[in-house]
Every structure is written in C-alpha cells, then in structure tokens.
Structure 1
Amino acid sequence: MAAAMAASCAEILRREFPELDGEMFEYVTGILHNSSADFESVDDLFEAVGELLQDVSRDSKDDEDIRAICQLMYNTLHLDNENSGRDTQVLLDAPIQISKITDSYDSGLDLIPGLLLKRNQNSVVNTKKLEKAEARLKAKQNKKQERDSSKSGSPLVLEEASASQAASKKETRLETSGKNKSYDVRIENFDVSFGERVLLTGADLNLAYGRRYGLVGRNGLGKTTLLKMIASRSLRIPSHISILHVEQEVAGDDTPALQSVLECDTTRESLLKEEKELTAQVNSGRGEGTEGTRLSEIYAALEEIEADKAPARASVILAGLGFSAKMQQQTTKEFSGGWRMRLALARALFARPDLLLLDGKSFLETWEEGKGAVHKTWQSTILVVSHDRNFLNAVATDIIHLHSQRLDSYRGDFENFVKIKEERLKNQQREYEAQQQYREHIQVRLDSVPKPRLKPVDKDSEVIMKFPDGFEKFSPPILQLDEVDFYYEPDHYIFRSLSVSADLDSRICVVGENGAGKSTMLKILMGDLAPVQGIRHAHRNLKIGYFSQHHVDQLDLEISATELLAKKFPGKTEEEYRHQLGCYGVSGELAVRPVASLSGGQKSRVAFAQMTMPCPNFYILDEPTNHLDMETIEALAKALNNFRGGLILVSHDERFIRLVCQELWVCGDGTVKRIDGGFDEYRDILQEQFRKEGFL
C-alpha cells in the first residue's frame, strides 16, 4: 500500500513538473517515500521540497500553486498513514507504472540527509538550495527524535544554530592569496537556522569599516544567533579581521579592575611575564648567561607595541566608563553585575578589535548614565543589538532590520529608519493594490505580460499584552519602609534611615548608578531581605508580582511553557494555560517547545505570563525591557498604563520610563531621593554632575 501511495505522489510530480530531471525526481520521491512520517502537516512537506519545486518550475508556478500540489501529495500520503494496516482502495488519476517508479525508490533510499545525492553539474536545481532542503529535513527528523527521547525520559537535547553560505570564487582567491587588505565585512547569500527553523535565507550583510550598526527586529527572529554565527566565524569573515563579541560580564575575583583590562593584551602580558622571570634569574645568579640577549629582544618588542603607554590608555578608557581612580584599583569581585559588564566593555575597547559585536544592554547602561562618549572615538566597526530608540539615535550610523528571514539596511539613525521604512511600506502597498486592480480588469492579457506577481505587503503583527486586574480598594499605607538600615557587611551600609512608601496608584521608577542598591531595595520592599534596622510594612491584602532581571533563573528550561504553568499553577486546563501564554505572544508551537530553545525576549514573555497568572495587585519589575523588542516594549508600557494597581520598576530605558512612570526615586549615597521634576530634572542633575567630573 505504501508503495502505491508513494507511486501516486510520483505520478503527481511527473504530471505537474515534466521538466524535473532524473536525479531531482529520485531525490524528491525518495523523501516522500522514506520521510512521510515526519510530515505532520502540509507546511512540513512544503518546507522540505517546496523551494526545490519552485526552482525547477522556472517561474511557471507561484508559491500558491506549489503549496496546492504539496497539499495534494500530503493528502495522498496522509491517507496512507491513516489507513495503515487496513484494506483500502485508492482511485488514481491515471494508470501508473509502479515497477518503474519503485526502481527509483531503490536508488533513492539513501538520499535522505546524511548521505547526499551525487550532484549532476547540469541539473537545473541550485545545489545550494538542495543542500538547504536536506539540512531542513535532517533538522525535522532530529527534532522528532528529541521529542521521542523526551517522552522516554532521556535528557533534553537542545537545538543548535547553523549557518551556510554560497562561496565566492573571487573572495576565496583573495583570501588564499593574502591580498585582501580591506576591513569591510561582506557576507553574501547566506542562511542561518536554529534547529529546523530558518531564521535567514539568501541574506546579505555589508558592514563598512568604522561605522556603527544597530541590529533591530522582533524577538525570536535570530538577532543573537546571527551575532554568534559571526563571532564563531560560522559565516566567512576574512581571517585578518579580528572579532570580539561582548555578551558576558567579567568574572569576579581578586584581579584589580585596571589589571583585568590590561590582561586583554596577551602579547604584552606574555612579554612582561617572561621579562620578570628572566630578571629574577639574573638577580639571583641562577642565569645561564643568555638572559641578557633575550631581555634585549623583549625590551625591543615591548617598545614596539608601546607597552609603557598601555596602563594610561586603559585608565582613560575606564574613566570614560565611570571608573574613578580608586575604583580602578578595586578587585573585580567588589563590583556589581552592571559594573562588571562595564569592565567587559572596557576590555573590548582596550583590545581594539576590527569588528566589535555588542549586547545592547552593556553599552546602553553606559550611555544612559551620561558617560558613553567613548563610542565617539571608536575607529573600528560596531554591530550592536539594541531595542532602545534613544541609544540607537545617539550611537548608530546605520540600522539593519531583521525581518521576514532577510536583512534590510538603512543609512542614518533609528528615527530615519522608521521614516524610510514607513515610506517603503506605503509604496509597496500602493504597487500591490495597483497590480491587484490591473489583474482584475485585464485578466485576459495577464499571462502575456512578463511582470512578476507581487505579494501583499509583509507587515509585522501588532503586539498585545494585558495584565489582569487583581484590584480592590484598601486604605494606605500599602507598602512602606520606615527608617530602614541595611548592609551585607557591617562596615559597608547599603542604606541608612531609608523611608519610602507606595500605594495602588503609584507609578514609580527607581534610577541610579550600578551598585547603588536599586535591586537590593526592591528585595527589601518584597520582604525577601530583612532590614538590619527599621520596619517594612505591607498591607495584609497586598499581592506582589515580581519580575527579576535574572528571570531566566526562575524558569524550568527543560519543559515547555505550557508545562511550566501547569507545574506552578496546577488544576487548570491546557487551554487556560495556552490562553495565558497567548496574552504575552507565546502561542502556537512556541508554547510547547522547551523554554531553553526560546529567545531571550520569548523567555521574558513566559516570565510575564507566569508572574501575572495569580493576578497580583502590585508589580515590582527589575529591568523588564532588557530582552524585549521595541514593539513589545510599547505593548508592555500600554499594558502597565491600563493596569489598575501599583507599580515600582527599575529601568535604564528612558522612553519606557517616560511612557509609564509618574514618579522618580534616585538611589545613591545610602538613601533614596524623590525627584518632583521627573526624568527631565534627573537628566539635568546628571549632566551637571558629569560636567563637574569632566566627563562632558
């Protein structure tokens, strides 16, 4: 029966694609015969062979035609699976020669990914597309195996990112000859996938040396994955271009901050270490007589790299990032996570890579606190992922928009990008509508007009978030700290005599430099940390929802988002859990994938769904926008404004603060001060302070 069904699909192929050459026919029919169990929907079948069939059709069929043919073949195969083991008769469209077709299956059994089809150089099918199709099918099979393993209790196997790129003979010759001296980065016609999901296809990325590029796009589309593919050189970058990817903060140990930056120069550190060892040998009389010659060579090498100027250069960079002379001598373990991220950035600036890849938050906090002038002196290329408009307007010279599995480049800052993108969308919509009208009125002549058929404008769907109201009126004080002292170590107070209060109408943003105690104060407010002295008061009916900047630590990464909610809030139906996740954009297949496989922004949305499930009446949010795309940040702001309850948040996102907060608390010097003038007054205070310190 299986052979007959597969033969029917083969007949469909022969009828619809008479130009299909022998090797490609064997490949496609081999997939249909051997991988039909992997096709859970027509989308799976279309993904496996649709692009190849489009290629061989030579524009005689569009996507809709190809999908209809795939639907026909899927129905045939699905009928086979449903009726497996039963006596079933199927009426075929025409007589077929099963013996001839099954011969091709015998030669095609090993054509499934892992053993590639031997290529015919004259084949009409693009070899690269064939390889991509094989990779997608292999990923589909691997995922099915992972699901089966997960059900059987085996350890979770996470999907991996991969990249493929069409080779350029010219670039290969230049690289081999060593004549390529350009520091521009040109990556053409490449694909990036994460597991079975295609993130980019046929994309081009051009980075001109010395320009600063902001990479923007919705959560989960592949921005972080793209940076990792570049950093690992999974995408081809000329070998003479050095790359540094800053995504982790510096580890806390006994190394002084200044020394941790100097250690980035491994050549200098190695020479200094050898000099110290040789000098010690000479001074102790244990030398062999050759130390003098080697020391002369070391001194010459140190002079050539200007090693004596390195401490001063490192100190200037650290000062530009807010480190005082005293702080530069403190050990890295004495700094908070935010300051350690600044150290990571300082190391990057000191190392001077040709291409710097940045996590947006690491640079963003520096800029927002007014000490980010370092970017103006940076001579190399920067590619930064960021969702902050103000930051991109201040820093970026170009914007790269990742959407619809492609990259579009725009000259100028973010505001210019928004303006040009809107104009392009309007023009595309006008062209589409004009062609639709043309097709309706001149349908008879349409086939003779050599004009490509336009598709509807690809617009991003609107992001909607809604925080359920757990609201009931009760008298203040709702949440209050009275004369609170707190320290982790007795000789280092974080707060002294701290008194603050909030009610159900509060919209408060807590600001201040890294290490000032913002997150600590939030934990005292929640009751997670007890005051050393003083009183925390909370209303008996207060129900707090907390979002941590380290929210990933609160999630079980090995189960799906649906299972996570069911585990934490048992007793509801799967439909209720999926509805809750859907309120935060985690719907469809995303809701049943392991949380570990989601992007940073998607994990944040899961955390929001988990936080709001019990319907709190007061939210405490610590850096809630860190991993969210711009559209989701806007939706979050709207949801918080519509929420009937209290709010205290910590954020570095100026636009988000302006959209949501009515009151500003400045954390620093062991206390918290309320600023009546809001963010504008706070910015004026910062600028005056930085002028006095010589940063502006």
Structure 2
Amino acid sequence: KAKASKAKQAQSRVKALERLELIGPAHVDSGFSFDFHKPDKLPNPMENLDAVRCGYRSEQGEVAILDNVCLSLRPESRLGLLGPNGAGKSTLIRTLVGELAPLAGRFDKDNDLAVGYFHQQQVDRLDHSDTPYQMLSRFHPKWSESALRSELGRFGFHGDDVFAPVGRFSGGEKSRLALAMIVQEKPALLILDEPANHLDLDMREALNMALQAFEGAVVMVSHDRHLLETTVDEFWLVANGSVTRFEGDLDDYGRWLQQNRRDGKPVKEEKAGDGLDAKARRQQAAQQREQLRPLKRQVEKLEKQLSQCDQELAKIETALGDDSLYTDDSRKNEMNALLGDQARLKKQHDELEEQLLEAMESLEQAESELTV
C-alpha cells in the first residue's frame, strides 16, 4: 500500500485485492486450485524494446502497425494492455513472444527467458486426438499415474476425463488444459491474450489467485475487469499506431474511449476533386453512419443499464445505512434481503462495465476505420 500513492492503477489494485479477500473463501471448495511453478531463472531485464516498429512482412512489402515502441520487461513487471480492437495489441504480443520479428529498432531478449503464452489460437490448435494424460506425461515422463492424475485434478480433470480426447472438450475445458500445460513450462514471463475467455467463474478466480502468487512478469490483454484490476500494476495504451504508458485506471480508460469518440474525426468524407459528386458523397456518408448505428445503440443501451444499476445500488446502500436494521431482530429478514440484492447488483454492475468497455472499444475501432 505504500506504493499506492505513486499510481492510480496501484490504488485500484489495492481496492480490488481487498474485495478479493472477501470473495476468495467462496471459491475454496470449487475444485479448481493451481499455482505457477517457481521459474528456474528470472532474467533482469527479460526483454527490452527500443524504437521498435511492429508489423508484418509480406510479398507486397512491410506493413507497420505500431511504431517507435519503447518497453522494458523486468521480473516485477505487471502490464495490462488497453486499446480498441484492431489497434495492434495482438501484434505487440506476437512481437514480444517472438512470432513476429521487428521491422525496425532494437529488440533484446534474454536467451534463458522461459515464456508462457496463452491465446485462443493456441487453444484451437490443440490436437483433438490427444488426451490430457498424454499431454502431461510428455512434460513428466517419470511421474506415476497417480501424480499425473493429481496434477490434472487441480485443473478440474478427473476420472475418465483424463483419458478423453481433446476433441470432445468444451471451449472452457480446452482453455483449462492449455493453462495446465503452460504451468508445466515454469515460465518466468506470462503473456496472456484474453485468458479468461470460456472460463467459468470458479476457474477465473483460480487463475486470479495463481497470478497473485506468480513470481515472474505478466503482460495481459483481457476484457475481464476484475482480473485486470487484481493482477496488473500499470496499463499501457495501444492506439493510433503507438504504445504509451496510460496514467489512469480502468474508469479513466472508459472515459478516454468516450472522449476519443466525441473528439474523433468525422465519418470519412471524400475530398473535393475525388471524382464523387455531392449526392454521391452524401449517400456514402449515410451508408457509413448506418454501419455505426448498431454499435452506438449498444453503447447507449449499456450506459443506460449501468446508470440504472448505479441508482438501484445507491438506494440499497442507503437502506443498509439504517442502524436499526442491524439491532432490530424483527428486521433480520429485511437485512438479509437487502444484502442479497446488494451482492446481485454489484455482480451485475461489474458485468455491465465489462460489456460497456468492450462495446466502446468496438465502436472506437469501427469509427477509426471510417475516418481519414
């Protein structure tokens, strides 16, 4: 907490961790509990990017997505990547992992660095004929069957499931299996691209707790607000072709998205002399507005629902401020009902915030594609 005054992100994380202490016991008996093994080595620094240009090489030439990226990853790094969909977060992650070579600049990576990389494509590429038991035994060929079963059980695989082909598993089960394999790699750096997708609430909390205890560095992209607030210390914004430190928390990021949308360039209009007459330009502008309308409606709908939820929560919390509620035995049922409503509304509030953040990012991306 002594460091909390240095950054708003840290203050948000302290509050989120305090909430986690309250809800954590509810997940103790969920059946999911794991941790990341201690890394063999913790290089310092792990990776250094100096004026790096990130993008792709093709037969047509280079396609730059991000330019002049300067970033240093150290054992204590806990980074959350923010930015509209399509702005370059995945490009940056693939560069950090080594899937994409920098187009320019200097990228230094320690040779002994063990990286654990989670992404949906990796989950989708799991061999459908493989089984959890076979996959784990490749990491630990000398382990007994009981030891292998015990390790798989920490990720919710029990009984015949350990010998079932991956092709039969749901998206959530495949994600759990992919995480189990990453744990065996004993990574020093975790790079996680939407790790909570397809995971149920109990497994999300198990992942959350495991990340709390992880001794290495974390770089994460996620729309799970709770996961971000409790596992990262600083945010970096990927937008407009650059990567910059974001001085704020997730509430500030939501306001940034709204402000950026209000201050953004107008829907793309062809300039004079572009070969289109005034009527054609008006028709084109109308078509572009029509493309954005469903996204804007979704944002407005979620903003309205969030506002209503806030109002209901305020009423509940005002009622819970009545001291007699806790001293008058005849009001015990009323108190329990109010506490239940408060818990339900707080859960709804978190879900609406997450959906709104994702909707605003989608709208921001769509608007940027229609602007000059």
- The bucket for the TM-score relative to the shorter chain is 0.5 to 0.7
Distance 1:555 1:570, change over 3 A: farther
Secondary structure at 2:79's aligned position in 1?
Answer: strand
The structural deviation recorded for 1:487 is: 2.9
Alpha-carbon distance between aligned partners in 1 of 2:131 and 2:49, rounded to the nearest angstrom: 38
Secondary structure at 2:161's aligned position in 1?
Answer: helix
Alignment TM-score, normalising by the size of structure 2:
0.59
Alignment TM-score, normalising by the size of structure 1:
0.32
Is 1:512 aligned with 2:83?
yes
Of 159, 180, 205, 1:588 maps to 159
Distance 1:499 1:528, change over 3 A: same
Contact 1:511 1:652 in 2 (8 A): no
Structure 2 unaligned residues grouped into runs of 5+: 1-27, 267-295, 301-372
Match of 2:55 in 1: 487
Distance 1:657 1:543, change over 3 A: same
Q: How does 1:549-564 map to 2 (within 5 A)?
A: 549-564=120-135
The structural deviation recorded for 1:461 is: 3.0
Alpha-carbon distance between aligned partners in 1 of 2:204 and 2:115, rounded to the nearest angstrom: 21
The structural deviation recorded for 1:560 is: 1.4
Distance 1:491 1:567, change over 3 A: closer
Alpha-carbon distance between aligned partners in 1 of 2:109 and 2:248, rounded to the nearest angstrom: 28
Contact 1:544 1:619 in 2 (8 A): yes
Is 1:464 aligned with 2:43?
no
The structural deviation recorded for 1:605 is: 0.8
Distance 1:484 1:608, change over 3 A: same
Alpha-carbon distance between aligned partners in 2 of 1:562 and 1:491, rounded to the nearest angstrom: 43
Alpha-carbon distance between aligned partners in 1 of 2:127 and 2:62, rounded to the nearest angstrom: 37
Distance 1:593 1:473, change over 3 A: closer
Secondary structure at 1:550's aligned position in 2?
Answer: helix
Match of 1:477 in 2: 45
Secondary structure at 1:585's aligned position in 2?
Answer: coil
Contact 1:486 1:532 in 2 (8 A): yes
Contact 2:46 2:109 in 1 (8 A): yes
Calculate percent identity across the aligned residue pairs: 36
Secondary structure at 2:64's aligned position in 1?
Answer: strand
Q: How does 1:421-460 map to 2 (within 5 A)?
A: none
Alpha-carbon distance between aligned partners in 2 of 1:612 and 1:533, rounded to the nearest angstrom: 33
Distance 1:513 1:585, change over 3 A: same
Q: What amino acid does structure 2 have at the position aligned with 1:664?
A: F
What whole-Å deviation, never above 9, does each CA across 1:506-555 have from its counterpart, x for those lacking one?
11111211211111111111112111111221123211111112222342
Alpha-carbon distance between aligned partners in 2 of 1:642 and 1:556, rounded to the nearest angstrom: 30
Match of 2:216 in 1: 645
Secondary structure at 2:120's aligned position in 1?
Answer: coil
Match of 1:611 in 2: 182
Secondary structure at 1:509's aligned position in 2?
Answer: strand
Contact 1:471 1:644 in 2 (8 A): no
Secondary structure at 1:468's aligned position in 2?
Answer: coil
Alpha-carbon distance between aligned partners in 2 of 1:555 and 1:679, rounded to the nearest angstrom: 33
Distance 1:570 1:519, change over 3 A: farther
Alpha-carbon distance between aligned partners in 1 of 2:75 and 2:226, rounded to the nearest angstrom: 23
Alpha-carbon distance between aligned partners in 1 of 2:193 and 2:133, rounded to the nearest angstrom: 24
Structure 1 unaligned residues grouped into runs of 5+: 1-458
Alpha-carbon distance between aligned partners in 2 of 1:597 and 1:539, rounded to the nearest angstrom: 39
Alpha-carbon distance between aligned partners in 1 of 2:140 and 2:124, rounded to the nearest angstrom: 18
The structural deviation recorded for 1:473 is: 4.9
Q: How does 1:92-107 map to 2 (within 5 A)?
A: none
Secondary structure at 2:261's aligned position in 1?
Answer: helix
Match of 2:240 in 1: 669
Name the structure, 1 or 2, with higher relative contact order (CA <8 Å, separation 6+).
2
Match of 1:21 in 2: none
The structural deviation recorded for 1:606 is: 0.6
The structural deviation recorded for 1:594 is: 1.1
The structural deviation recorded for 1:627 is: 0.6
Alpha-carbon distance between aligned partners in 2 of 1:595 and 1:567, rounded to the nearest angstrom: 16
Of 226, 229, 236, 1:658 maps to 229
Q: How does 1:218-617 map to 2 (within 5 A)?
A: 461-470=30-39, 472-474=41-43, 476-488=44-56, 490=61, 492-567=63-138, 570-617=141-188
Alpha-carbon distance between aligned partners in 2 of 1:680 and 1:597, rounded to the nearest angstrom: 40
Q: What amino acid does structure 2 have at the position aligned with 1:470?
A: P
Q: What amino acid does structure 2 have at the position aligned with 1:687?
A: Q
Contact 1:662 1:678 in 2 (8 A): no
Alpha-carbon distance between aligned partners in 1 of 2:82 and 2:248, rounded to the nearest angstrom: 14
Match of 1:633 in 2: 204
Distance 1:614 1:576, change over 3 A: farther
Judging by fraction of residues, say which structure has more helix. 2
Alpha-carbon distance between aligned partners in 1 of 2:97 and 2:243, rounded to the nearest angstrom: 17
Alpha-carbon distance between aligned partners in 2 of 1:575 and 1:480, rounded to the nearest angstrom: 42
Question: RMSD in angstroms over aligned alpha carbons?
Answer: 2.4
Alpha-carbon distance between aligned partners in 2 of 1:642 and 1:568, rounded to the nearest angstrom: 22
Alpha-carbon distance between aligned partners in 2 of 1:567 and 1:468, rounded to the nearest angstrom: 17
